[in-house]
Amino acid sequence: MGGKVDPLVVGRVIGDVVDMFVPSVTMSVHYANKHVTNGCDIKPSIATEPPKITIGGQPDEFYTLVMTDPDAPSPSEPTMREWVHWIVTDIPGCSNVARGKEVLGYVGPRPPVGIHRYILVLFRQTAPMQEIFQAPVARAHFCTRMFAHQLDLGVPVATVYFNAHKEPANRKR
């Protein structure tokens, strides 16, 4: 009875940010030359620019990517849960996120204290968003579930998360 435990469950991504889902689209995330895998550590200093993300899916479909921090401002007291770092819509399938429409500009990880989780969630759109979607007015208190519900996105098709913590001021590279 040695079943593999889903790292999204272990990392409390399922529960804190999204509900249980079955991944159906591939998503590859890279910061510089570092491939992001669930639960890996990424230094904020290498994540100042948006990651390179390629997705699978169907070329005639569109996708939405959301990146949030459910641990803001502190993992022990996440009173700003979730803090949204990035939203990109209308990403064509079988391409990269750079081909989508950036609705909310990327802000890299800047954890003030503790180890924070940064979640990248991909949803399949039912149609192109066009101009129907307005960016959130505030980054704090974002809710991925509510966002998906309001835009009729359904459950995620792919998710990956990484951890980051504050770097010592003299060791940023």
Q: pLDDT tens digits, residue range 97-119?
A: 999 999 999 999 999 999 999 99
Q: What pLDDT does residue 42 have?
A: 97
* β-bridge partners, 68: 84, 119
In this prediction, residue 1 carries a pLDDT of 43
pTM: 0.93
Segment 53-66 mean pLDDT? 96
C-alpha to C-alpha distance for 53 and 42, rounded to whole angstroms: 15
Split at pLDDT 50, 70, 90, the class of 130 is confident
Say which range, 34-43, 133-142, 157-166, has the weakest mean pLDDT: 133-142
The strand order across the sheet containing 52-55 reads 34-35, 27-31, 52-55
pLDDT over 80 (residue 171): no
Q: Calculate mean pLDDT across residues 59-85.
A: 96
- Predicted confidence at residue 3, as pLDDT, reads 59
Mean of pLDDT values over 50-79: 96
